[in-house]
A = this chain, B = another copy of it.
Amino acid sequence: MSDNKAKVIFQPSGRRGEVQKGVTLIEASRLLGVDIEALCGEKKVCGKCKVRIEEGMFEKYGIESSMSHVSEWQEEEEKFIKGEEKSKGFRLGCVAKVQGDVLVFVPEESRAGKQIVSKAARDIHIDHDPAVKTYYVEVEPPTFEEPTGDFERVCKELERQHGLENNLKIHIHTLRQLPMVLREDDWKVTVSVWMDREIIRILPGKREDHYGIAIDIGTTTVAGYFVNLNTMEVIDTVSMMNPQCKYGEDVMARITFHMTTDDGLQRMSDDIVEGLNTLIKQAVDATWPPKKKVKKEDGAVEMVEDPVEGKNYLRLTLEDVEDVTIGCNTAMHHIFLQLNPEFVGLAPFPPVIHRSLDIRARDLGIKVNPSSYVFVLPNEAGFVGADNVGVLIAEEPYKSEENQLIIDIGTNGELVLGDKHKLISSSCATGPALEGAQIAFGMRAAPGAMERIKIDPETHEVDYKVIGRDAWRAFSKPKEMKAKGICGSGILDLLAELYRAGVITKSGVFNKNQKSKRFRRNPDTKQPEFVLAWAEETSIDKDIVVTQKDVRQIQLAKGALYAGCKLMMRRMKLDKVDKVKIAGAFGTHVDREKALIMGLFPDCEIEKIISVGNAAGDGCRAALLNKEKRVEANWVSRNVEYIELTVESDFQKEFMEAMQIPHMTDEFPHLEKLVSEEILHQK
């Protein structure tokens, strides 16, 4: 082994290898394929990448390992690693550097797990007019009298039989296939034409079905709808974590990674491209072996494998994917396309480009039919991106008589308000708290995450449900719960319940007069905290608590959101909103009443608060299946007025007021009714 290399072993995965001395443990983990959570993008501020340096196990692994084999303790670590943890050898993975052979244990809470995402396709109305259409033509073979070229013969028939214009283009890759494909099945071919103006694929014989995929690249989650462009059927919904999460949880962390790392932009782009390729392959592979619907005795329908023999099944390949549409926020858009995202993060936040782009798939490294285009939806503004445009073309508030408030809660909150006469948009820095980040025991919606929480107002006893287990704690043995942390929907429950049970006051401060043994001061920080789950109920072997700081984070998030909505209403001179639409994965899980109690958004009739699920993804799907939606997207992106909230004169005042729990009831007639009838009644 050379002098400047060191052996590193990660436990419990057992992955091992040599790395350059001087790299951080996080960098080493990436090199060796170990996923360590790094929500803040290695800015040493989230404390999620805690690992333990192991000692006394030299012989077992045949390496000479000791504390001195990692770099010295740094001040930044004090904030996250205290007392016992420090003495046990815990370090921050983004701080400690490899200086010699070392054995590293990654505790479960520091592992970047697979998130469970549920982004099934909603039924939305879309007219069938895809950008890529197929045409079957029978072509005359050339003769001495008419020896015209292959391409011109095909164009002539497309014009004669289907009325296409006679000035079609063709990509060189497709042109290369043309002569052999024409002669493969007696001059009968199926031609895929993009936007009625370019031939992007030619297949022998008659083929009706062809495919496309609409992809929504979220900061955290990537979801794809795999669609039959002929029948409009959503064949499959596929999703994955955004592989860029390892560079940082939010868009600013990613932009920072680009600005502080030489090839940061390239790496993040490569990662998402590779991710998209994995996702597309997954969707294509899932179509084989073919399945058929079978009615069971009880009337239910089940999909079972259909034997291939004797059937005319065509096995799909990546080349059968002939169109791709992509929506994402402006930062994800820029990083994916390798456009410098630096200025999107810098006032006045101009994007590199607003309008939509048609980019040849192979120019992006997207492995589908190589002559196909990837349609990237247009951006509204630096902080309201193409994903919001997706929401807009799916929800069409610009066709509505009623005014609508559309809230897309992701890592950033994106707001749209208006009707057919006028639309304005803005974004607010909710931060990732509502998604579980920057919360002591916050985590993604993965197994073990507390998603529902109830606190008894009398006893302060806590009941909860975790993802991956149907039964509540009250009906389970402690050991069965295996709680690990709290995810987004649990967090909203939490704040409401803490307040309802009197654990915290209206201003969000812990009530010091409570007697529950769950309320205590942290032995290290001396700060008040409330125990949600005892160590024995967890899989991480420690109490899961909510801290005063956590409560503040949640208040900040909901305050920002509410103040944003409020200022937008004032801009539009509206006293009330007719309808609230909650988009995003958060919207699917959230309890709209609790959201209203907490004051996430202004008062509205409960019936008029609806969850529209992954509307951004639906918009991408609309653009895939109807090319006029692409025109509409460009129109709307330039006709929504973007409002920068932070420069509004009394933003700060509104924001401070909005942090209170619950919000001023005079602004919430519907909430007041709700609270008096139901919630307060229970108290």
* Interface, chain A (partner B; CB < 8 A): 142-144, 147-153, 170, 172-173, 175-176, 178-180, 337-340, 342-343, 347-355, 357, 359, 363-364, 379, 381-382, 642, 644, 647
Contact = CB atoms under 8 A, between A and B. Distances in A.
A245 B630 CA distance: 50
A149 to B, nearest CB: 4
The 3 A-B residue pairs with the shortest CB-CB distance, nearest first, are: A151-B353, A142-B350, A147-B348
Contacts of A142: 348, 350
Nearest to A362: B363
A321 B339 CA distance: 24
Contacts of A357: 172, 175
A148 B349 CA distance: 9
B359 A150 contact: no
Nearest to A173: B363
Contact of A354 (B152, B172, B354, B364): B152
A355 B179 contact: no
A430 B539 CA distance: 86
A175 B173 CA distance: 24
A586 B154 CA distance: 38
Contact of A151 (B144, B172, B354, B381): B354
B364 A172 contact: yes
A179 B342 contact: yes
Nearest to A143: B348
13 contacts: A143-B348, A147-B350, A147-B642, A148-B354, A149-B350, A149-B351, A150-B351, A151-B354, A151-B355, A172-B357, A175-B353, A178-B339, A179-B342
Nearest to A340: B179
A35 to B, nearest CB: 29
Contacts of A176: 337-340
Given A176-B339, A179-B342, A347-B144, A352 B149 contact: yes
A151 B352 contact: yes
Nearest to A353: B151
Contacts of A381: 147
A172 B350 contact: no
Contacts of A379: 149
Contacts of A180: 340
A87 to B, nearest CB: 49
Given A179-B339, A647-B144, A152 B355 contact: yes
Contacts of A352: 149-151, 175, 178-179
A396 B152 CA distance: 25
A200 to B, nearest CB: 14
Contact of A144 (B172, B178, B340, B348): B348
Contacts of A148: 350, 354
Contacts of A647: 144
Contacts of A143: 348
A330 to B, nearest CB: 9
A342 B176 CA distance: 12
Nearest to A358: B169
Nearest to A144: B348
Given A152-B355, A172-B363, A354-B152, A382 B348 contact: no
A554 B647 CA distance: 86
Contacts of A175: 337, 339, 352-353, 357
A631 to B, nearest CB: 12
Contacts of A179: 339-340, 342-343, 352
Nearest to A169: B358
Nearest to A350: B142
Contacts of A350: 142, 147-150, 153
A571 to B, nearest CB: 15
B348 A152 contact: no
A347 B142 CA distance: 9
A72 B425 CA distance: 83
Contacts of A152: 353-355
Nearest to A644: B144
Contacts of A172: 337, 357, 359, 363-364
A252 to B, nearest CB: 17
Nearest to A642: B147
Given A142-B348, A364-B172, A149 B338 contact: no
Nearest to A170: B353
A190 B338 CA distance: 22
A418 to B, nearest CB: 19
Nearest to A359: B172
Contacts of A644: 144, 147
Nearest to A147: B348
Contacts of A338: 176
A339 B182 CA distance: 13
Contacts of A351: 149-150
Contacts of A151: 352-355
User: In the complex, which of the residues A351, A379, A642 has the most CB atoms of chain B within 10 Å of its own CB atom?
Assistant: A351
A347 to B, nearest CB: 7
Nearest to A647: B144
A636 to B, nearest CB: 15
A143 B348 CA distance: 6
